[in-house]
Chain A
Amino acid sequence: MVPVLILMTLIVFMIFYFAPGDPVSRIAGPNVTQEVYDNIMQKHGLDQPFVVQYFKFAKSVVKGDLGISILQDRPVVEMIRERLPVTLQIGLLGFLITFIIAIPAGVIAAVKKNTVVDYLCMSGSLLGIAIPTFWFGMLLLYVFAYKLRWFPISGDGTIKQLVLPAFAIGLTNAAITARMVRSSMLEVLKQDYVRTAKSKGLYEKTVVYSHALKNAMIPIISLMGLRLGWIIGGSVALEIIFSIPGIGRLMVDSILARDYPVVQGAMIVLTSSIIFANILADILYSVVDPRIRYS
């Protein structure tokens, strides 16, 4: 985990160092004299060479201090703490929706293979894969917030604001997951032990849900582990469309303004969450399949 984080911060740092533009232009505005401009650059240590800047940054990160935002002049940790919860809420709710829709849909499609139900589920999921999340978000916003007015158009701080973006994430992710569940289920249903279970006279439902599904879950869990990190990082567009001040928007705004301490901080959080989701997936394997042990 540590090497990944070091590599990531180094890359982000390099991109920012060599990219054109600096954060001071925005604070300073067009009407500032060179003297004041240099003063501000100096205040934030932006006039120092790359290596010095990076080590200063790395030293404070180790101490748990992500630095001070150049534009907002406050601790990055504090800014992330403000912005992260709402992003996590949307991500997790979206994740839950993914699960609730994808697993039954995938299982039913697998069991009723080559029937109308299967075709419906699979063409629905094909559509879901083809539609970009942000576009689906705009569609939901237009129909349910603008036309029907069931939900707020822009974030209002209540739980209602989470529903539409969570559905946008949930449904588009459910599409790909459902296909995965279906193919994984088909694989498992062909196996001998399933036939044995059926010939023992067990109910079809018991066979499918408690015998087959458990084994079919392994590839799905690793997919979900990858998606969880992606869901959290990928809600940037939705946060803009739904006017939700989450961490994705913080990151985009900071990138545009070249406020690199904030971008670094947000990237560390995102990278960690992706790593964490993968560890979680690994642990879940052993829960689903007791044969997998980690020593």
Chain B
Amino acid sequence: MKVNKMEKVTLVILAFALLLSCVLTGCSKEDSKKTEKTLVIGYDRDAEIMDTIKTAWYSDALIYIHDRLVTRDYEFGYKPGLAERWDVSDDGLVWTFHLRKDVKFHDDKEFKAEDVKWTIDTIKDPNTGSPFSGDLEAIKEVNIVDEHTVDVVLNYPFPNLLYNLSGTASGIHPANAYETYGDDYGKRVVIGTGPYKLEEWTPGDKTVLVKNEDYKWGPEWMSNRGPALIDKIVLKIIPDENSRMMELEVGGIHILRNVPETYVEKLEKNDDITIYSEPATKLGYLAYATDKEPFTDVRVRRAINHALNREEIIQFVLRGIGEEAYGYLPPALTDEYLEESEELAYKYDPEKAKQLLAEAGYPDGLELTLSADNSSKSSKLAEIIQVQLKEVNIDAKIQPYDSAGYADMLREGKQELFIREYSWSNADIIDWFLLSSRFPYPNHSRWVDEKSDELITYAAQRPTWDERAEAYKEVQRYLIDEAVWAPIYIPMNMIAARKEVKNFKYHPWMLQYNDGFDLEVSGK
């Protein structure tokens, strides 16, 4: 066949047109399933392993995939989950959990006592290397009483067990999951009893969850107990902050649970988007290596506390969205938070700071380094803290690190002044950061003090929750007096939801907890 030039050109154009039409029509498949309700949630970063046991960096997908023995309601109270009730022995050492009998795993296996035992034993096994093992230190052993009853035996009284058993990390896996599913477990397969099943996980891109049709054992405090009202949940990873905001605005994602303060103003102008904000269970603080000169002197530590103008910091770094912090716990932990923290603590008073420094033997001021990670928030914090310290004659040189380098530097103990923010909703964070047994890691402030060890251990091992809360208040009084840290701010949890999201209700414990139960999304 002879093809002349004109025909050649026509052929090429035709081929291109064909290709183009393929490209454009190829992606309109979704239109056929109009009734399916999908909730798309935006995230900045994916988890590496889809397994609560093996990493401290969970994917939120695991909140939906697993159930836990204990749940927490909107008021932070402990309520039944997979355990329909529990009793504690008089000495506080044996906790008997009575399990639900109508629960099935995603692979149709019935939920039994052995699953609870396997999950806890695997976490505690030192060979697993589970980051969560420390949290379950108090547990001595788990005994199966019958198919639907387990005894959790403790080494010492530990009312905080409920907290640990209600966290994401204690999602219940089917017994022998690692043997049954081999290397795929935590990568292609994850089995739980939760309201959603894992359909597809493309690391770094997205996780797709589909509703578990058999689910009917949701917690009693949610208006729907299952199956979920939303058919599909997609966790979409969008690493760039700007792209994430744009995607929210055009409706590519429905809900964003960590809106940066800088975007609030812009998003509030969009009628399709509502921003919900509640004080977070986080605390931003300035810390120092308390075992090094000059921080060994309590007067210097107090002086640094007095030097900080918290209101100005919140304005500058958080655009005014946040609360001033004076205590060591976030006020959202209503039971344990020490109400009089602010009265007891050291308010902004540069004159007092200078005077204290002079008393401590530094009338001409100090030269120190201020370490921070290189995130934009920390860099801004470091800048303003530098300026404020300058006012009381403390010359702070800023030393930035990337996140892995920062952790390493703290572990090695090279820090003088350093910036931290923790996110944790339990008083036991104080144990982690300030017990001498955690020195030098995670006790970065290198705080080794007998009195405080005594107070913390006493508090952690009270037999009841209320006694424990009271004892932790005593701990906080002591820490404030010693000025172990300089607490700065409590940020807000800011959640942006599009108009498609119905019945939004803020859950203080797990922000995602109620998706598909109280929270709904309108179909397309």
Contacts of B86 in A (CB 8 A): none
Interface range for B: 35 or more
What total of chain A residues lie within 8 Å of the partner, measured CB to CB? 55
| Minimum CB–CB distance for B129 against chain A, Å | 4
* Chain B binder among A150-158, A189-197, A268-276: A150-158
Contacts of A20 in B (CB 8 A): 401, 404-405, 408-409
| Minimum CB–CB distance for A32 against chain B, Å | 5
Contacts of A240 in B (CB 8 A): 239-240
| Minimum CB–CB distance for B287 against chain A, Å | 13
| Minimum CB–CB distance for A83 against chain B, Å | 7
| Minimum CB–CB distance for A262 against chain B, Å | 10
A21 to B404, CA, bound (A): 4
Give B431's nearest chain A residue, CB to CB. Answer: A31
The reply to whether A31 and B240 contact each other, CB–CB distance below 8 Å, is no
Is A88 positioned at the interface, with any CB of B under 8 Å from its CB?
Answer: no
Is B246 positioned at the interface, with any CB of A under 8 Å from its CB?
Answer: yes
Count CB-based A-B contacts (< 8 Å).
152
With A71-B49, A153-B247: A32-B131 Cβ-Cβ less than 8 Å: yes
* Chain B binder among A22-30, A103-111, A125-133: A22-30
| Minimum CB–CB distance for A255 against chain B, Å | 9
A121 to B242, CA, bound (A): 32
A274 to B409, CA, bound (A): 36
| Minimum CB–CB distance for A294 against chain B, Å | 33
Contacts of B402 in A (CB 8 A): 21, 256
A247-258 near B? 1/0 per residue, CB < 8 Å: 001100100111
With A26-B57, A36-B129: A241-B204 Cβ-Cβ less than 8 Å: no
Is B23 positioned at the interface, with any CB of A under 8 Å from its CB?
Answer: yes
Give A28's nearest chain B residue, CB to CB. Answer: B131
B131-155 near A? 1/0 per residue, CB < 8 Å: 1111100000000000000000000
Contacts of A35 in B (CB 8 A): 126
Which residue in A22, A82, A153, A158 is a CB contact (below 8 Å) of B243? A153
Give B406's nearest chain A residue, CB to CB. Answer: A21
A32 to B126, CA, bound (A): 12
Which residue in B48, B134, B406 is a CB contact (below 8 Å) of A31? B134
Contacts of B132 in A (CB 8 A): 31
The reply to whether B404 and A256 contact each other, CB–CB distance below 8 Å, is yes
The reply to whether B252 and A27 contact each other, CB–CB distance below 8 Å, is no
Is A234 positioned at the interface, with any CB of B under 8 Å from its CB?
Answer: no
With A30-B432, A31-B135, A256-B403: A72-B238 Cβ-Cβ less than 8 Å: no
Contacts of A138 in B (CB 8 A): 242
With A28-B56, A72-B48, A145-B246: A34-B441 Cβ-Cβ less than 8 Å: yes
With A20-B408, A31-B56, A257-B404: A243-B238 Cβ-Cβ less than 8 Å: yes
A117-142 near B? 1/0 per residue, CB < 8 Å: 00000000000000000000010011
Is A74 positioned at the interface, with any CB of B under 8 Å from its CB?
Answer: yes
With A21-B404, A31-B442: A72-B203 Cβ-Cβ less than 8 Å: yes
A277 to B144, CA, bound (A): 63
Give A27's nearest chain B residue, CB to CB. Answer: B55
Contacts of B406 in A (CB 8 A): 21
A227 to B54, CA, bound (A): 41
Is B26 positioned at the interface, with any CB of A under 8 Å from its CB?
Answer: yes
A256 to B407, CA, bound (A): 12
A154 to B42, CA, bound (A): 10
A149 to B252, CA, bound (A): 11
B247-281 near A? 1/0 per residue, CB < 8 Å: 10110100000000000000000000000000000
Contacts of B203 in A (CB 8 A): 72, 79, 82, 245
Is B481 positioned at the interface, with any CB of A under 8 Å from its CB?
Answer: no
Contacts of A29 in B (CB 8 A): 55-57, 131
The reply to whether A74 and B187 contact each other, CB–CB distance below 8 Å, is yes
B389-427 near A? 1/0 per residue, CB < 8 Å: 000000000000111111111010000000000100000
Is B27 positioned at the interface, with any CB of A under 8 Å from its CB?
Answer: yes
The reply to whether A22 and B404 contact each other, CB–CB distance below 8 Å, is yes
Is B213 positioned at the interface, with any CB of A under 8 Å from its CB?
Answer: no
Is A159 positioned at the interface, with any CB of B under 8 Å from its CB?
Answer: yes
With A26-B404, A31-B56, A256-B402: A243-B240 Cβ-Cβ less than 8 Å: yes
The reply to whether B134 and A27 contact each other, CB–CB distance below 8 Å, is no
The reply to whether A152 and B48 contact each other, CB–CB distance below 8 Å, is no
Since A27-B56, A43-B129, A83-B204 are in contact, a sample of 11 more A-B pairs with Cβ atoms closer than 8 Å, ordered by chain A residue number, is: A20-B408, A26-B57, A30-B442, A31-B56, A40-B129, A73-B54, A73-B187, A155-B205, A241-B242, A256-B402, A256-B404
Q: Can you show 15 pairs from A to B with CB atoms below 8 A apart?
A: A20-B404, A21-B407, A27-B56, A31-B135, A32-B56, A32-B134, A36-B129, A71-B55, A72-B48, A82-B202, A153-B243, A158-B27, A160-B27, A241-B240, A241-B242
